[in-house]
């Protein structure tokens, strides 16, 4: 188990429980920096300073605006002309008190899982740019593709509906289930509530045909019906979508600037599933002021595939840099995409118990597992460093793992009330 591995860092490892915090933890996010004083009984927030970080008013949300890039990215081409405000930004950054870190190592958490409700996670940042282009081109519907529990597909369906666009999803599933009702678990529940058009394809057919050809088949069908479809690739990961995390890097810089005691992140850690997020973060860190080393834990395919893919994305922006110079990609797929070992799921459960942060099992869960494993095996590599972990969301994916998770989650029993406690019919109000 990973936690027993990390315990090797200390002769007297701390138990897997958060200590009581007497010191204050600085949280910076929303519209103002906050000081959150943590105790077992309460959390108290005060906002003292005027923040430079942007906050959305009711006039901003779902609005389409002209886009101006960060000054350090102004040489990239093409620059998007417009962007939609779809996400709740900026997302908070706070200290993440993981047990058994290497000596003097700090881990901070960028909460992109809090970028919205149904429309949450890292995909929203990409969709802000992609859907602006779709609307500009006069599209009346959106096509995208992914796994049966794709967070990207769910976010696309919600964002499209917000903008009065229909959505068509091609979802990959097993050949045993391709002719059956896919159910209402996790992301599927949200998609089907939205009236999304869902088409199932078996993993075997997907592997033989590929995502580009499949979306083109559906596009041609819709064009013949008189529709005006706009195709978004897997994960929203193309050069246009990459701007979502170039912009996120500007957001991180602004959040750091408003802190009285400046934090300087040495490393950024993030999951990699389709490549667009790591391309934007890596390019933004390289070009901008942060200059943090980006570590991407890939949850499918392999590092060589993603180095080539990220290179294509940044070449599409005429960035003139080598992908291998700006990001380190580490294999964290384990048994395969969206397949978890019991040890990985136990890790996700223990992180939630210890820190209150719920990771998803497909992306951030595997990335955090990989990070902690590397810290245990190579502590000197991480000692004394300040690490920003980007939580990319995906909470709904946990619902697809309930059968595997059930043995790890107890914590319940029938309440035993002694007969000596007075009883009177109707005394307890049933709301």
Ramachandran bin of 338, using left for φ above 0, alpha for ψ from -120 to 50, beta for the remaining angles: left
Q: Are 266 and 241 in contact (CB under 8 A)?
A: no
**Strands across the sheet with 24-28, in order?**
43-47, 34-38, 24-28, 93-95, 106-111, 386-391, 267-272, 293-298, 327-331
Q: β-pairing, 166-173 with 141-147?
A: parallel
Max distance between CA atoms of the chain, in angstroms, equals 78
* Residue 184 per-residue DSSP state: S
- Taking the C-alpha atoms of residue 236 and residue 126, their distance in angstroms, rounded to an integer, is 6
Cα–Cα distance, 146 to 196 (Å, whole number): 14
Q: Which residues form the catalytic set?
A: 150
Cross-strand bridge partners of residue 229 = 141
Give the dihedral of Cα atoms 153, 157, 162, 164; nearest 10 deg.
Answer: 130
With beta carbons less than 8 A apart as the criterion, state whether 245 and 284 touch: yes
CA nearest 219: which of 139, 308, 328, 135?
Answer: 139
CA–CA gap between residue 80 and residue 324 (Å, rounded):
25
> Apex CA 309: angle with CA 305 and CA 312, to 5°?
145
- Residue 292 is given by DSSP the state P
Strand order of the β-sheet with 141-147 is: 197-202, 166-173, 141-147, 229-231
SS3 61: coil
Contact 295, 330 (CB under 8 A): yes
Query: What's the token pair of residue 296?
Result: 């991407």
Q: Which of 9, 39, 47, 10 is nearest to 23 (CA)?
A: 39
Q: What is the dihedral of CA 286, 288, 290, 296, to 10 degrees?
A: -40
Rounded to 10°, the helix 239-257/276-287 angle is: 50
């Amino acid at each position: 188990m990973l936690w027993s591995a990390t315990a090797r860092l200390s002769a007297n490892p701390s138990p897997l429980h958060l200590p009581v915090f007497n010191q204050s933890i600085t949280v910076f996010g929303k519209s103002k920096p906050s000081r959150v004083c943590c105790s077992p009984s309460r959390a108290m927030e005060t906002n003292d300073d005027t923040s430079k970080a942007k906050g959305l008013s009711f006039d901003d949300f779902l609005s389409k605006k002209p886009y101006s890039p960060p000054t350090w990215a102004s040489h990239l081409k093409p620059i998007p002309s417009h962007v939609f405000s779809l996400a709740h930004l900026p997302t908070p950054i706070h200290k993440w008190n993981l047990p058994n870190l290497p000596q003097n190592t700090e881990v901070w958490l960028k909460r992109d899982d809090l970028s919205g409700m149904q429309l949450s996670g890292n995909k929203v940042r990409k969709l802000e740019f992609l859907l602006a282009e779709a609307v500009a081109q006069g599209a009346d519907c959106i096509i995208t593709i992914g796994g049966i529990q794709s967070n990207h597909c769910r976010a696309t369906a919600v964002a499209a509906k917000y903008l009065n666009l229909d959505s068509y999803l091609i979802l990959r599933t097993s050949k045993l289930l391709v002719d059956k009702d896919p159910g209402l678990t996790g992301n599927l529940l949200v998609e089907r509530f939205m009236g999304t058009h869902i088409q199932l394809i078996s993993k075997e057919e997907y592997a033989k045909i590929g995502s580009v050809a499949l979306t083109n088949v559906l596009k041609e069908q819709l064009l013949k019906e008189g529709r005006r479809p706009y195709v978004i690739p897997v994960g929203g990961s193309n050069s246009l979508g990459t701007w979502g995390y170039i912009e996120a890097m500007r957001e991180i810089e602004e959040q750091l600037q408003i802190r009285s005691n400046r934090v300087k992140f040495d490393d950024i850690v993030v999951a990699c599933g389709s490549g667009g997020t790591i391309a934007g973060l890596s390019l933004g860190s390289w070009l901008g002021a942060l200059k943090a080393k980006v570590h991407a834990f890939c949850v499918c395919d392999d590092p060589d595939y993603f180095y080539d893919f990220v290179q294509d994305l940044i070449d599409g922006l005429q960035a003139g840099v080598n992908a291998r110079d700006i990001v380190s990609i580490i294999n964290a797929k384990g048994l395969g995409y969206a397949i978890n070992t019991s040890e990985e799921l136990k890790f996700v459960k223990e992180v939630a118990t210890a820190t209150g942060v719920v990771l998803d099992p497909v992306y951030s869960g595997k990335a955090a597992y990989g990070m902690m494993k590397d810290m245990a095996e190579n502590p000197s590599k991480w000692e004394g460093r300040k690490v920003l972990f980007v939580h990319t969301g995906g909470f709904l994916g946990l619902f697809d793992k309930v059968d595997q998770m059930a043995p790890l989650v107890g914590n319940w029993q029938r309440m035993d009330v002694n007969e000596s406690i007075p009883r009177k019919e109707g005394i307890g109000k049933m709301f």
